Structure 1
Amino acid sequence: MVSESWRDLRPETAISGEISGTTRYIDIFQVRQLHTLQRPMTETAYEMAFLVSSQVMELYFGLLCHELGRARREVLADDVPAALRTLRRTVAHLRALEATWESYADMTPSDWNPIKAQLGKGEASSVHSYMYRHLAFLLGQKSREMLEPHRSTPLIHQGLEDALSAPSLYDEVLALLQRRGLPLPDSAVHRDFADPYVAQPEVEAAWAQVYHDESLTDLRELGEALTQVADRFNRWKQVHLTVTMRTFGDKPGYYHTPAVGWLQNSLNQTVFPELWSARTTM
Protein backbone atom coordinates (compact mmCIF):
# COMPACT_ATOMS: atom_id res chain seq x y z
CA MET A 1 0.00 0.00 0.00
CA VAL A 2 1.34 3.45 -0.93
CA SER A 3 2.22 5.51 2.12
CA GLU A 4 -0.02 8.51 2.73
CA SER A 5 2.69 10.76 4.13
CA TRP A 6 0.21 13.52 4.92
CA ARG A 7 -1.40 11.11 7.41
CA ASP A 8 1.82 9.80 8.95
CA LEU A 9 1.49 11.87 12.12
CA ARG A 10 0.66 9.65 15.04
CA PRO A 11 -2.62 10.87 16.63
CA GLU A 12 -1.23 10.90 20.15
CA THR A 13 1.83 12.88 19.05
CA ALA A 14 -0.18 15.42 17.10
CA ILE A 15 -2.62 15.94 19.94
CA SER A 16 0.01 16.20 22.66
CA GLY A 17 1.92 18.83 20.66
CA GLU A 18 5.20 16.91 20.78
CA ILE A 19 6.01 17.68 17.14
CA SER A 20 8.28 20.69 16.84
CA GLY A 21 7.44 23.49 14.44
CA THR A 22 4.01 24.87 13.71
CA THR A 23 2.21 27.83 12.19
CA ARG A 24 -0.60 30.01 13.41
CA TYR A 25 -2.94 28.44 10.81
CA ILE A 26 -2.15 24.92 12.04
CA ASP A 27 -2.75 25.92 15.65
CA ILE A 28 -5.97 27.88 15.16
CA PHE A 29 -7.67 25.22 13.06
CA GLN A 30 -6.05 22.26 14.84
CA VAL A 31 -5.06 20.87 11.46
CA ARG A 32 -2.81 18.12 12.83
CA GLN A 33 -5.62 16.76 14.97
CA LEU A 34 -8.14 16.95 12.13
CA HIS A 35 -6.02 14.84 9.83
CA THR A 36 -5.57 12.11 12.41
CA LEU A 37 -9.28 11.62 13.08
CA GLN A 38 -10.01 9.36 10.10
CA ARG A 39 -9.23 5.70 10.84
CA PRO A 40 -10.27 3.52 7.88
CA MET A 41 -10.95 -0.08 8.90
CA THR A 42 -11.21 -1.56 5.39
CA GLU A 43 -9.69 -1.17 1.93
CA THR A 44 -13.04 -0.08 0.52
CA ALA A 45 -12.68 2.87 -1.85
CA TYR A 46 -15.57 4.82 -0.33
CA GLU A 47 -14.68 4.48 3.34
CA MET A 48 -12.53 7.59 3.55
CA ALA A 49 -15.29 9.64 1.92
CA PHE A 50 -17.81 8.12 4.33
CA LEU A 51 -15.69 8.92 7.38
CA VAL A 52 -14.85 12.49 6.36
CA SER A 53 -18.40 13.30 5.26
CA SER A 54 -19.85 11.90 8.49
CA GLN A 55 -17.42 13.97 10.56
CA VAL A 56 -18.20 17.09 8.52
CA MET A 57 -21.92 16.46 9.09
CA GLU A 58 -21.31 16.23 12.83
CA LEU A 59 -19.49 19.58 12.73
CA TYR A 60 -22.37 21.12 10.82
CA PHE A 61 -24.88 19.72 13.33
CA GLY A 62 -22.91 21.53 16.02
CA LEU A 63 -22.79 24.73 13.97
CA LEU A 64 -26.54 24.57 13.31
CA CYS A 65 -27.24 24.07 17.02
CA HIS A 66 -25.06 27.10 17.73
CA GLU A 67 -26.93 29.24 15.20
CA LEU A 68 -30.44 28.07 16.08
CA GLY A 69 -29.72 28.49 19.78
CA ARG A 70 -28.62 32.04 19.01
CA ALA A 71 -31.78 32.66 16.95
CA ARG A 72 -33.89 31.35 19.83
CA ARG A 73 -32.24 33.83 22.23
CA GLU A 74 -32.74 36.68 19.76
CA VAL A 75 -36.43 35.86 19.36
CA LEU A 76 -36.78 35.70 23.15
CA ALA A 77 -35.23 39.19 23.28
CA ASP A 78 -37.70 40.46 20.62
CA ASP A 79 -34.75 41.19 18.31
CA VAL A 80 -36.33 40.05 15.03
CA PRO A 81 -33.72 41.72 12.73
CA ALA A 82 -30.90 39.84 14.50
CA ALA A 83 -32.86 36.57 14.35
CA LEU A 84 -33.39 37.06 10.62
CA ARG A 85 -29.65 37.44 10.01
CA THR A 86 -28.96 34.32 12.05
CA LEU A 87 -31.61 32.28 10.25
CA ARG A 88 -30.29 33.34 6.84
CA ARG A 89 -26.85 32.08 7.86
CA THR A 90 -28.51 28.88 9.04
CA VAL A 91 -30.07 28.32 5.62
CA ALA A 92 -26.61 28.63 4.02
CA HIS A 93 -25.23 26.08 6.51
CA LEU A 94 -28.06 23.69 5.68
CA ARG A 95 -27.25 23.95 1.98
CA ALA A 96 -23.66 23.03 2.76
CA LEU A 97 -24.83 20.16 5.00
CA GLU A 98 -26.92 18.73 2.18
CA ALA A 99 -23.92 18.85 -0.17
CA THR A 100 -21.91 16.55 2.11
CA TRP A 101 -23.91 13.58 0.76
CA GLU A 102 -22.34 14.12 -2.66
CA SER A 103 -19.06 12.48 -1.66
CA TYR A 104 -20.65 9.04 -1.59
CA ALA A 105 -24.12 9.47 -3.08
CA ASP A 106 -23.37 6.82 -5.74
CA MET A 107 -22.08 4.20 -3.30
CA THR A 108 -23.57 0.74 -3.92
CA PRO A 109 -24.37 -2.05 -1.44
CA SER A 110 -21.14 -3.85 -2.40
CA ASP A 111 -19.20 -0.69 -1.50
CA TRP A 112 -21.11 -0.22 1.75
CA ASN A 113 -21.30 -3.78 3.10
CA PRO A 114 -17.62 -4.06 4.18
CA ILE A 115 -17.91 -0.74 6.01
CA LYS A 116 -21.18 -1.77 7.64
CA ALA A 117 -19.60 -5.03 8.81
CA GLN A 118 -17.00 -3.03 10.75
CA LEU A 119 -19.63 -0.78 12.34
CA GLY A 120 -21.29 -3.72 14.06
CA LYS A 121 -24.95 -4.57 14.49
CA GLY A 122 -26.43 -1.33 15.75
CA GLU A 123 -23.46 -0.25 17.85
CA ALA A 124 -22.41 2.52 15.43
CA SER A 125 -25.76 3.64 14.05
CA SER A 126 -26.37 7.26 13.07
CA VAL A 127 -29.17 7.23 15.64
CA HIS A 128 -26.36 7.75 18.18
CA SER A 129 -25.57 11.20 16.77
CA TYR A 130 -26.50 13.20 19.86
CA MET A 131 -25.72 16.50 18.14
CA TYR A 132 -28.27 15.71 15.43
CA ARG A 133 -30.78 14.98 18.18
CA HIS A 134 -30.04 18.37 19.76
CA LEU A 135 -30.68 19.92 16.35
CA ALA A 136 -33.99 18.08 15.93
CA PHE A 137 -35.11 19.18 19.41
CA LEU A 138 -34.22 22.82 18.64
CA LEU A 139 -36.37 22.56 15.51
CA GLY A 140 -39.27 21.26 17.59
CA GLN A 141 -39.10 17.56 16.73
CA LYS A 142 -39.39 16.37 20.32
CA SER A 143 -39.39 12.67 21.20
CA ARG A 144 -38.64 11.16 24.60
CA GLU A 145 -38.15 7.83 22.83
CA MET A 146 -35.06 9.23 21.09
CA LEU A 147 -33.27 9.59 24.44
CA GLU A 148 -33.06 5.83 24.76
CA PRO A 149 -30.09 5.24 22.38
CA HIS A 150 -28.02 7.56 24.63
CA ARG A 151 -28.78 5.96 27.97
CA SER A 152 -25.31 4.36 28.12
CA THR A 153 -23.67 7.83 27.99
CA PRO A 154 -25.03 9.62 31.11
CA LEU A 155 -23.66 13.13 30.42
CA ILE A 156 -24.96 13.11 26.85
CA HIS A 157 -28.27 11.64 27.99
CA GLN A 158 -28.68 14.40 30.61
CA GLY A 159 -27.86 17.10 28.07
CA LEU A 160 -30.50 15.73 25.72
CA GLU A 161 -33.01 15.47 28.56
CA ASP A 162 -32.45 19.18 29.26
CA ALA A 163 -32.82 20.01 25.56
CA LEU A 164 -36.02 17.98 25.37
CA SER A 165 -37.58 19.99 28.19
CA ALA A 166 -36.47 23.37 26.85
CA PRO A 167 -38.60 25.44 24.44
CA SER A 168 -37.73 24.93 20.79
CA LEU A 169 -37.07 27.81 18.41
CA TYR A 170 -40.68 27.53 17.20
CA ASP A 171 -41.98 27.64 20.78
CA GLU A 172 -40.18 30.95 21.28
CA VAL A 173 -41.49 32.28 17.95
CA LEU A 174 -45.08 31.48 18.97
CA ALA A 175 -44.50 33.24 22.29
CA LEU A 176 -43.24 36.25 20.32
CA LEU A 177 -46.38 36.25 18.16
CA GLN A 178 -48.51 36.24 21.31
CA ARG A 179 -46.50 39.13 22.78
CA ARG A 180 -47.11 41.05 19.56
CA GLY A 181 -50.86 40.74 20.09
CA LEU A 182 -51.75 37.82 17.84
CA PRO A 183 -54.56 35.63 19.23
CA LEU A 184 -52.67 32.46 20.07
CA PRO A 185 -54.15 30.10 22.65
CA ASP A 186 -52.19 29.65 25.87
CA SER A 187 -52.10 25.91 25.15
CA ALA A 188 -49.77 26.65 22.23
CA VAL A 189 -47.41 28.83 24.24
CA HIS A 190 -47.55 27.61 27.85
CA ARG A 191 -47.17 23.85 27.71
CA ASP A 192 -44.84 20.98 28.54
CA PHE A 193 -42.10 21.54 25.98
CA ALA A 194 -40.94 17.93 26.27
CA ASP A 195 -44.16 16.83 24.57
CA PRO A 196 -44.27 16.72 20.76
CA TYR A 197 -45.79 19.89 19.38
CA VAL A 198 -49.34 19.45 18.03
CA ALA A 199 -50.49 21.85 15.32
CA GLN A 200 -53.50 24.01 16.19
CA PRO A 201 -55.94 25.85 13.88
CA GLU A 202 -55.62 29.04 15.96
CA VAL A 203 -51.87 29.10 15.29
CA GLU A 204 -52.49 28.54 11.59
CA ALA A 205 -54.93 31.48 11.59
CA ALA A 206 -52.37 33.65 13.37
CA TRP A 207 -49.77 32.95 10.68
CA ALA A 208 -52.33 33.74 7.97
CA GLN A 209 -52.94 37.07 9.72
CA VAL A 210 -49.20 37.77 9.82
CA TYR A 211 -49.00 37.31 6.06
CA HIS A 212 -52.04 39.51 5.38
CA ASP A 213 -51.31 42.37 7.80
CA GLU A 214 -48.89 44.91 6.30
CA SER A 215 -48.01 46.20 9.77
CA LEU A 216 -46.46 42.81 10.60
CA THR A 217 -43.82 42.79 7.85
CA ASP A 218 -41.00 41.78 10.17
CA LEU A 219 -42.96 38.77 11.44
CA ARG A 220 -43.76 37.78 7.86
CA GLU A 221 -40.04 37.89 7.05
CA LEU A 222 -39.42 35.78 10.14
CA GLY A 223 -42.01 33.28 8.93
CA GLU A 224 -40.32 33.07 5.53
CA ALA A 225 -36.88 32.60 7.10
CA LEU A 226 -38.24 29.78 9.24
CA THR A 227 -39.89 28.21 6.17
CA GLN A 228 -36.55 28.22 4.37
CA VAL A 229 -34.89 26.53 7.36
CA ALA A 230 -37.60 23.85 7.42
CA ASP A 231 -37.33 23.35 3.66
CA ARG A 232 -33.54 22.92 3.64
CA PHE A 233 -33.64 20.61 6.67
CA ASN A 234 -36.24 18.46 4.94
CA ARG A 235 -34.12 18.31 1.77
CA TRP A 236 -31.19 16.98 3.80
CA LYS A 237 -33.46 14.28 5.23
CA GLN A 238 -34.77 13.42 1.76
CA VAL A 239 -31.24 12.90 0.43
CA HIS A 240 -30.44 10.82 3.53
CA LEU A 241 -33.36 8.56 2.65
CA THR A 242 -32.30 8.30 -1.00
CA VAL A 243 -28.68 7.47 -0.13
CA THR A 244 -29.85 4.87 2.39
CA MET A 245 -32.15 3.23 -0.16
CA ARG A 246 -29.30 3.14 -2.69
CA THR A 247 -26.61 1.75 -0.41
CA PHE A 248 -28.62 -0.22 2.13
CA GLY A 249 -31.92 -1.18 0.55
CA ASP A 250 -34.68 -2.13 2.95
CA LYS A 251 -32.52 -4.17 5.33
CA PRO A 252 -33.06 -3.75 9.09
CA GLY A 253 -31.13 -0.93 10.72
CA TYR A 254 -30.60 0.00 14.37
CA TYR A 255 -31.52 -3.01 16.51
CA HIS A 256 -33.53 -4.57 13.69
CA THR A 257 -35.72 -1.51 13.05
CA PRO A 258 -36.55 -0.80 9.37
CA ALA A 259 -34.04 1.91 8.40
CA VAL A 260 -35.87 3.11 5.29
CA GLY A 261 -39.25 3.07 7.06
CA TRP A 262 -37.84 5.01 9.99
CA LEU A 263 -36.40 7.69 7.68
CA GLN A 264 -39.66 7.91 5.73
CA ASN A 265 -41.56 8.48 8.98
CA SER A 266 -39.07 11.19 9.90
CA LEU A 267 -39.76 12.94 6.59
CA ASN A 268 -43.45 13.06 7.49
CA GLN A 269 -42.67 15.10 10.63
CA THR A 270 -43.20 18.66 9.41
CA VAL A 271 -40.99 21.34 10.96
CA PHE A 272 -42.98 24.50 11.88
CA PRO A 273 -46.26 22.88 10.68
CA GLU A 274 -48.66 25.85 10.67
CA LEU A 275 -46.28 27.89 8.52
CA TRP A 276 -47.02 25.34 5.81
CA SER A 277 -50.70 24.63 6.40
CA ALA A 278 -51.58 28.34 6.64
CA ARG A 279 -50.65 28.76 2.97
CA THR A 280 -53.89 27.08 1.98
CA THR A 281 -55.87 30.03 3.38
CA MET A 282 -53.48 32.83 2.42
Structure 2
Amino acid sequence: MFKKLVAIEPVSLIPSAEQKLHDYAKEVILFDDIPEDNKEIIHRIGDADAVLLSYTSSIDKEILDACPNIRYIGMCCSLYSPESANVDILTANAKNITVYGIRDYGDQGVVEYVISELIRYLHGFGKKQWKELPVEITDLKVGIVGLGTSGQMIAVALQAFGADVYYYSRTRKPEEEARDIKYLPLKDLLQTVDVVCTCLNKNVILFQEEQFEWLGNHKIMFNTSIGPSHDISALTKWLSHGDNEFFCDTAGALGDTGELLLHPHVNCMDVSSGRTKQAFDRLSEKVLNNIETYLKSDIELR
Protein backbone atom coordinates (compact mmCIF):
# COMPACT_ATOMS: atom_id res chain seq x y z
CA MET A 1 0.00 0.00 0.00
CA PHE A 2 1.21 3.50 -0.77
CA LYS A 3 1.56 6.07 1.97
CA LYS A 4 0.43 8.94 -0.24
CA LEU A 5 -0.90 8.98 -3.80
CA VAL A 6 -1.22 12.27 -5.68
CA ALA A 7 -2.83 12.92 -9.06
CA ILE A 8 -1.10 16.15 -10.06
CA GLU A 9 -3.83 17.05 -12.59
CA PRO A 10 -7.17 15.72 -13.89
CA VAL A 11 -6.55 12.14 -15.02
CA SER A 12 -9.99 11.22 -16.44
CA LEU A 13 -10.78 8.41 -14.00
CA ILE A 14 -14.45 7.56 -13.57
CA PRO A 15 -15.86 8.18 -10.03
CA SER A 16 -15.74 4.53 -8.97
CA ALA A 17 -12.08 4.34 -9.99
CA GLU A 18 -11.26 7.50 -8.04
CA GLN A 19 -12.86 5.91 -5.00
CA LYS A 20 -10.91 2.69 -5.57
CA LEU A 21 -7.64 4.62 -5.24
CA HIS A 22 -8.29 4.82 -1.50
CA ASP A 23 -7.80 1.04 -1.34
CA TYR A 24 -4.24 1.50 -2.58
CA ALA A 25 -3.02 4.44 -0.47
CA LYS A 26 -3.44 5.73 3.06
CA GLU A 27 -3.81 9.26 1.70
CA VAL A 28 -5.15 10.24 -1.73
CA ILE A 29 -5.03 13.76 -3.19
CA LEU A 30 -6.61 14.50 -6.58
CA PHE A 31 -5.99 17.93 -8.13
CA ASP A 32 -8.64 19.22 -10.52
CA ASP A 33 -6.51 21.67 -12.53
CA ILE A 34 -3.31 21.51 -14.58
CA PRO A 35 -0.15 22.72 -12.81
CA GLU A 36 1.51 25.76 -14.38
CA ASP A 37 5.15 24.72 -14.03
CA ASN A 38 7.65 22.37 -12.42
CA LYS A 39 7.61 24.34 -9.19
CA GLU A 40 3.88 23.71 -8.81
CA ILE A 41 4.24 20.02 -9.73
CA ILE A 42 6.98 19.57 -7.11
CA HIS A 43 4.78 21.29 -4.53
CA ARG A 44 1.82 19.05 -5.37
CA ILE A 45 3.85 15.84 -5.21
CA GLY A 46 5.57 16.76 -1.96
CA ASP A 47 6.38 13.60 -0.02
CA ALA A 48 4.10 11.32 -2.07
CA ASP A 49 5.38 7.88 -3.00
CA ALA A 50 2.88 7.41 -5.86
CA VAL A 51 2.02 9.90 -8.60
CA LEU A 52 -0.59 9.91 -11.35
CA LEU A 53 -0.59 12.25 -14.35
CA SER A 54 -2.25 12.62 -17.72
CA TYR A 55 -0.84 13.87 -21.05
CA THR A 56 -1.16 17.57 -20.19
CA SER A 57 1.83 17.72 -17.81
CA SER A 58 5.35 16.30 -17.73
CA ILE A 59 7.62 14.88 -15.06
CA ASP A 60 11.27 15.52 -15.86
CA LYS A 61 14.60 15.04 -14.10
CA GLU A 62 14.23 18.25 -12.10
CA ILE A 63 10.97 17.01 -10.59
CA LEU A 64 12.30 13.51 -9.94
CA ASP A 65 15.37 14.92 -8.20
CA ALA A 66 13.20 17.17 -6.03
CA CYS A 67 10.78 14.40 -4.97
CA PRO A 68 12.90 11.53 -3.60
CA ASN A 69 9.98 9.60 -2.07
CA ILE A 70 8.42 8.66 -5.42
CA ARG A 71 8.49 4.94 -6.15
CA TYR A 72 5.60 4.66 -8.62
CA ILE A 73 4.38 6.88 -11.48
CA GLY A 74 1.16 5.96 -13.25
CA MET A 75 0.63 7.58 -16.63
CA CYS A 76 -3.12 7.88 -17.27
CA CYS A 77 -2.39 8.31 -20.96
CA SER A 78 -0.72 6.45 -23.81
CA LEU A 79 2.83 5.18 -23.35
CA TYR A 80 4.41 3.95 -26.58
CA SER A 81 8.12 4.45 -25.91
CA PRO A 82 10.45 6.21 -23.45
CA GLU A 83 11.35 8.72 -26.17
CA SER A 84 7.76 9.85 -26.72
CA ALA A 85 6.68 9.76 -23.06
CA ASN A 86 5.90 12.82 -20.96
CA VAL A 87 7.83 11.23 -18.08
CA ASP A 88 11.63 11.00 -18.02
CA ILE A 89 11.54 7.22 -17.85
CA LEU A 90 15.31 6.72 -18.10
CA THR A 91 15.93 8.93 -15.07
CA ALA A 92 13.04 7.30 -13.23
CA ASN A 93 14.43 3.83 -13.88
CA ALA A 94 17.85 4.94 -12.67
CA LYS A 95 16.18 5.97 -9.42
CA ASN A 96 14.32 2.62 -9.15
CA ILE A 97 11.02 4.35 -9.83
CA THR A 98 8.50 2.21 -11.70
CA VAL A 99 6.62 3.94 -14.53
CA TYR A 100 3.53 2.33 -16.04
CA GLY A 101 1.45 3.74 -18.87
CA ILE A 102 -1.56 2.51 -20.78
CA ARG A 103 -2.48 1.88 -24.41
CA ASP A 104 -5.43 1.12 -26.64
CA TYR A 105 -8.22 2.70 -24.63
CA GLY A 106 -9.60 5.27 -27.10
CA ASP A 107 -9.04 3.54 -30.44
CA GLN A 108 -12.66 2.67 -31.16
CA GLY A 109 -13.67 6.33 -31.13
CA VAL A 110 -10.81 7.18 -33.48
CA VAL A 111 -11.93 4.52 -35.95
CA GLU A 112 -15.48 5.88 -35.91
CA TYR A 113 -14.13 9.41 -36.47
CA VAL A 114 -12.16 8.40 -39.57
CA ILE A 115 -15.03 6.45 -41.11
CA SER A 116 -17.55 9.19 -40.31
CA GLU A 117 -15.52 12.09 -41.71
CA LEU A 118 -14.43 10.14 -44.78
CA ILE A 119 -18.01 9.19 -45.68
CA ARG A 120 -19.21 12.76 -45.15
CA TYR A 121 -16.54 14.14 -47.46
CA LEU A 122 -16.90 11.47 -50.15
CA HIS A 123 -20.69 11.84 -50.26
CA GLY A 124 -20.84 15.59 -49.71
CA PHE A 125 -22.99 15.31 -46.60
CA GLY A 126 -21.42 18.52 -45.25
CA LYS A 127 -20.37 21.64 -47.13
CA LYS A 128 -17.66 19.87 -49.12
CA GLN A 129 -17.50 16.99 -51.57
CA TRP A 130 -14.38 15.30 -52.94
CA LYS A 131 -15.51 14.79 -56.54
CA GLU A 132 -18.32 16.06 -58.75
CA LEU A 133 -20.44 13.00 -57.97
CA PRO A 134 -20.66 11.32 -54.55
CA VAL A 135 -18.20 8.45 -54.13
CA GLU A 136 -18.45 5.30 -52.01
CA ILE A 137 -15.61 3.83 -50.02
CA THR A 138 -15.97 0.77 -52.26
CA ASP A 139 -12.68 0.21 -54.16
CA LEU A 140 -11.20 3.42 -52.73
CA LYS A 141 -7.42 3.08 -52.40
CA VAL A 142 -6.45 3.92 -48.82
CA GLY A 143 -3.00 3.82 -47.25
CA ILE A 144 -2.39 3.36 -43.53
CA VAL A 145 0.97 4.69 -42.35
CA GLY A 146 1.76 3.05 -39.02
CA LEU A 147 -0.02 -0.27 -38.54
CA GLY A 148 -0.27 -0.46 -34.78
CA THR A 149 -3.49 -1.22 -32.94
CA SER A 150 -5.45 1.80 -34.15
CA GLY A 151 -4.05 1.50 -37.67
CA GLN A 152 -5.12 -2.14 -37.85
CA MET A 153 -8.60 -1.29 -36.58
CA ILE A 154 -9.00 1.51 -39.14
CA ALA A 155 -7.81 -0.80 -41.91
CA VAL A 156 -10.32 -3.52 -40.98
CA ALA A 157 -13.16 -0.99 -40.75
CA LEU A 158 -12.32 0.39 -44.20
CA GLN A 159 -12.19 -3.12 -45.62
CA ALA A 160 -15.69 -3.72 -44.28
CA PHE A 161 -16.85 -0.92 -46.58
CA GLY A 162 -14.96 -2.39 -49.53
CA ALA A 163 -11.83 -0.23 -49.55
CA ASP A 164 -8.60 -1.39 -51.17
CA VAL A 165 -6.22 -1.03 -48.21
CA TYR A 166 -2.43 -0.70 -48.21
CA TYR A 167 -0.01 -0.08 -45.36
CA TYR A 168 3.49 1.09 -44.57
CA SER A 169 5.19 0.28 -41.28
CA ARG A 170 8.74 0.01 -40.01
CA THR A 171 8.09 -3.70 -39.52
CA ARG A 172 6.13 -5.98 -41.82
CA LYS A 173 2.87 -7.42 -40.46
CA PRO A 174 2.41 -10.87 -42.07
CA GLU A 175 -0.80 -11.54 -40.11
CA GLU A 176 -2.34 -8.34 -41.53
CA GLU A 177 -1.09 -9.09 -45.03
CA ALA A 178 -2.92 -12.41 -44.75
CA ARG A 179 -6.09 -10.33 -44.35
CA ASP A 180 -5.32 -8.61 -47.68
CA ILE A 181 -3.92 -5.43 -46.13
CA LYS A 182 -1.12 -4.99 -48.66
CA TYR A 183 2.38 -3.73 -47.78
CA LEU A 184 4.10 -1.10 -49.91
CA PRO A 185 7.23 0.99 -49.32
CA LEU A 186 6.23 4.52 -48.32
CA LYS A 187 6.94 6.16 -51.68
CA ASP A 188 5.04 3.48 -53.60
CA LEU A 189 2.14 3.64 -51.16
CA LEU A 190 1.77 7.41 -51.43
CA GLN A 191 1.90 7.24 -55.22
CA THR A 192 -0.82 4.55 -55.21
CA VAL A 193 -3.51 5.75 -52.80
CA ASP A 194 -6.13 8.50 -52.85
CA VAL A 195 -6.45 8.63 -49.07
CA VAL A 196 -3.65 8.35 -46.52
CA CYS A 197 -4.14 7.95 -42.78
CA THR A 198 -1.19 8.41 -40.44
CA CYS A 199 -1.33 6.44 -37.17
CA LEU A 200 2.11 7.17 -35.76
CA ASN A 201 3.61 7.49 -32.31
CA LYS A 202 3.84 10.90 -30.70
CA ASN A 203 6.77 13.05 -31.93
CA VAL A 204 7.22 11.07 -35.16
CA ILE A 205 7.29 13.60 -38.03
CA LEU A 206 7.31 11.53 -41.21
CA PHE A 207 5.76 13.82 -43.82
CA GLN A 208 8.13 16.44 -45.24
CA GLU A 209 7.84 18.15 -48.64
CA GLU A 210 9.16 15.06 -50.42
CA GLN A 211 6.45 12.80 -48.98
CA PHE A 212 3.71 15.27 -49.95
CA GLU A 213 5.18 15.40 -53.47
CA TRP A 214 4.93 11.60 -53.63
CA LEU A 215 1.31 11.80 -52.48
CA GLY A 216 0.44 14.36 -55.13
CA ASN A 217 -2.75 16.35 -55.45
CA HIS A 218 -6.51 15.90 -55.28
CA LYS A 219 -5.83 13.66 -52.28
CA ILE A 220 -7.16 13.24 -48.74
CA MET A 221 -5.05 12.97 -45.59
CA PHE A 222 -6.08 11.97 -42.06
CA ASN A 223 -3.82 12.22 -39.03
CA THR A 224 -5.02 10.23 -36.02
CA SER A 225 -1.81 10.66 -34.01
CA ILE A 226 -1.67 12.63 -30.76
CA GLY A 227 0.72 15.11 -32.37
CA PRO A 228 1.46 16.12 -35.96
CA SER A 229 2.88 13.51 -38.32
CA HIS A 230 3.91 16.25 -40.75
CA ASP A 231 6.11 19.29 -41.05
CA ILE A 232 3.81 22.33 -40.75
CA SER A 233 5.28 24.27 -43.67
CA ALA A 234 5.21 21.17 -45.89
CA LEU A 235 1.53 20.58 -45.09
CA THR A 236 0.74 24.25 -45.75
CA LYS A 237 2.43 24.07 -49.15
CA TRP A 238 0.53 20.87 -50.06
CA LEU A 239 -2.79 22.45 -49.07
CA SER A 240 -2.04 25.57 -51.12
CA HIS A 241 -2.63 23.55 -54.30
CA GLY A 242 -6.33 23.98 -53.53
CA ASP A 243 -7.68 20.48 -54.10
CA ASN A 244 -6.15 18.59 -51.17
CA GLU A 245 -8.01 18.02 -47.90
CA PHE A 246 -6.61 17.42 -44.41
CA PHE A 247 -8.52 15.93 -41.47
CA CYS A 248 -7.63 15.64 -37.78
CA ASP A 249 -9.62 15.74 -34.57
CA THR A 250 -7.50 18.07 -32.40
CA ALA A 251 -5.29 21.12 -32.82
CA GLY A 252 -2.52 19.03 -31.27
CA ALA A 253 -2.74 16.59 -34.17
CA LEU A 254 -2.59 19.53 -36.58
CA GLY A 255 0.36 21.03 -34.76
CA ASP A 256 -0.94 24.57 -35.13
CA THR A 257 -3.53 26.73 -33.39
CA GLY A 258 -3.21 29.79 -35.66
CA GLU A 259 -3.88 30.39 -39.34
CA LEU A 260 -3.63 26.75 -40.37
CA LEU A 261 -6.46 25.82 -38.01
CA LEU A 262 -8.68 28.22 -40.00
CA HIS A 263 -7.44 27.04 -43.41
CA PRO A 264 -10.37 26.21 -45.75
CA HIS A 265 -8.90 22.79 -46.52
CA VAL A 266 -8.19 21.85 -42.90
CA ASN A 267 -10.99 20.00 -41.13
CA CYS A 268 -10.31 20.01 -37.39
CA MET A 269 -13.08 19.76 -34.79
CA ASP A 270 -10.55 20.37 -31.99
CA VAL A 271 -12.23 17.63 -29.97
CA SER A 272 -10.49 14.34 -29.20
CA SER A 273 -12.41 11.54 -30.92
CA GLY A 274 -10.92 8.99 -28.53
CA ARG A 275 -12.32 10.57 -25.35
CA THR A 276 -15.62 8.72 -25.12
CA LYS A 277 -17.53 7.28 -22.17
CA GLN A 278 -16.29 3.82 -23.03
CA ALA A 279 -12.72 5.10 -23.38
CA PHE A 280 -12.83 6.56 -19.87
CA ASP A 281 -14.09 3.20 -18.59
CA ARG A 282 -11.20 1.38 -20.30
CA LEU A 283 -8.67 3.99 -19.17
CA SER A 284 -9.81 3.69 -15.56
CA GLU A 285 -9.62 -0.10 -15.60
CA LYS A 286 -6.11 -0.09 -17.07
CA VAL A 287 -4.83 2.53 -14.60
CA LEU A 288 -6.14 0.54 -11.63
CA ASN A 289 -4.76 -2.72 -13.04
CA ASN A 290 -1.32 -1.12 -13.34
CA ILE A 291 -1.41 -0.01 -9.71
CA GLU A 292 -2.48 -3.47 -8.56
CA THR A 293 0.26 -5.09 -10.65
CA TYR A 294 2.89 -2.84 -9.10
CA LEU A 295 1.69 -3.32 -5.53
CA LYS A 296 1.53 -7.08 -5.98
CA SER A 297 5.07 -7.24 -7.36
CA ASP A 298 6.28 -4.90 -4.62
CA ILE A 299 4.90 -7.24 -1.95
CA GLU A 300 6.51 -10.26 -3.62
CA LEU A 301 9.91 -8.54 -3.63
CA ARG A 302 9.77 -7.79 0.09
Same fold (TM over 0.5): no
* TM category, shorter: under 0.3
So what's the TM-score if we normalise by structure 2? 0.25
So what's the TM-score if we normalise by structure 1? 0.27
Greater RCO structure (CA 8 Å; 6+ sep): 1
Q: Which structure shows the higher helix fraction?
A: 1
